[in-house]
Structure 1
Amino acid sequence: MNKTKQMTVMAAFIAIGVLGASFLWFPTGIARAFPVQHALNVISAVVLGPIPTVIIAFGVGLVRNLLGLGTLLAFPGGLAGAIAAGLFFRMRKTTTAAIVGEIIGTGIIGSLLAIPVARILMDQAVGVFAFVPGFIISSLVGSVIAALVLPKIKPLLEKETI
């Protein structure tokens, strides 16, 4: 994929992530689940690789926060999931690996990284496992979405022209 097409796909994924956050979310305890972000992490890990996936996750989190559609918790969950999904896919070259990376990255690592963010930046005292169930549920739902969508869009993105 050439750089122009890659940047265009990344911008489109950021737009989808922001738009998806306003339509598809659900409460999970003290946090809100945004499964579109997790679906995009898996899809972009498979199609674009780890670095673009992290850039997309950061872009979605930043725009969502600027528009008031999210909280600072978008960063630890989205970025940890993006890194893990991209690296797991790079190691194994399977969609399942990207899904496992997303769930471990967001559900475990991201949820634990969210604790200092909540305490220091959001002034919320939370327990060690306050975010784990919600982050795992969100990443599972997003991974299912990705598994359903990816076979349809991957061939389109791999074409020389769209």
Structure 2
Amino acid sequence: MANNRVHRLTVLAIMIALDFLLTPLFRIEGMAFMSSVMNIIAATFMTPIYAVAMALIVAIMRILTQAGVASVAPLAIIGSVPGAFLATYFYRLTKKPVMAWFGEFLGTGIIGSLLSAPVMVWFWTMSAHGDDELLAKASQAQSLVFFTPRFVLATLIGGFLAMAVLRGLKYSTHFMNLKKLYALESLKEDGLQ
């Protein structure tokens, strides 16, 4: 049993590393679509706790280490965590990867973007200290849908890429073994074991 926990944590660490490294490498300004790719892939074999932990840890690591992310710190968390949770939740309900994509779209593209606007207005206003550029950003973000186009487009791009990767992974015995490994944990979370 302890061996399975170590295996799950090792896989979690690998997913965190991949997300952390790939997101800034393959990026369009204002859109972290690789984060959506990783959330959707994680949703197809991880439990919600592990997927949310992955998204949250990567967001915190990005805030602490990547230069431009600190200026939009709440976006890293608000944009990825709801998507990771809903992607995993919808996949667990249906066992269809496209529903993981739908969960990511709903969680990151819609909910994350709508929550981001008021949070970022507060964050930029509080951290401005007379900086006209940050105050201008805060003024623009007062529109509730200010972040929605970028978040939605990132989840669409990320979803297409994730579907392509998952199509190839379904033939991998290692990936199937990961699903089995997390299935035991899933039963425990649901109180069935």
TM-score between the two structures when normalised by the length of structure 2? 0.76
Q: How does 1:69-88 map to 2 (within 5 A)?
A: 69=67, 70=69, 71-72=72-73, 73-88=75-90
For the residues of structure 2 that align with 1:141 and 1:82, how far apart are their CA atoms? 16
User: CA shift at 1:64, angstroms?
Assistant: 0.6
User: CA shift at 1:117, angstroms?
Assistant: 1.9
Q: How many residue pairs get matched?
A: 156
User: CA shift at 1:91, angstroms?
Assistant: 1.1
The residue aligned with 1:90 is 92
User: CA shift at 1:2, angstroms?
Assistant: 2.2
Question: Which structure is higher in RCO with an 8 Å CA cutoff and minimum separation 6?
Answer: 1
Q: How does 1:1-162 map to 2 (within 5 A)?
A: 2-27=4-29, 32-69=30-67, 70=69, 71-72=72-73, 73-123=75-125, 124-125=138-139, 126=141, 127-154=143-170, 155=172, 156-159=174-177
User: CA shift at 1:22, angstroms?
Assistant: 2.1
**RMSD (Å), alpha carbons:** 1.7
Instruction: Return 129-138 or 143-152, whichever deviates more.
Output: 143-152
More helix by share: 2
User: CA shift at 1:95, angstroms?
Assistant: 0.3
TM-score between the two structures when normalised by the length of structure 1? 0.89
User: CA shift at 1:153, angstroms?
Assistant: 3.4
| 8 A Cα contact 1:85 1:102, kept in partner | yes
Structure 2 segments unaligned to the other structure (5+ residues)? 126-137, 179-193
Percent of aligned pairs sharing the same letter: 31
Instruction: Return 72-81 or 148-157, whichever deviates more.
Output: 148-157
For the residues of structure 1 that align with 2:57 and 2:14, how far apart are their CA atoms? 11
- Once the two structures are superposed, residues 97-138 of structure 1 have per-residue CA deviations (whole angstroms, 9 ceiling, x without a partner) of 101110011110000111122111233231111011100000
**What is the letter of the counterpart of residue 151 of structure 1?**
R
| 8 A Cα contact 1:84 1:98, kept in partner | yes
User: CA shift at 1:15, angstroms?
Assistant: 0.9
| 8 A Cα contact 2:82 2:112, kept in partner | yes
Structure 1 segments unaligned to the other structure (5+ residues)? none
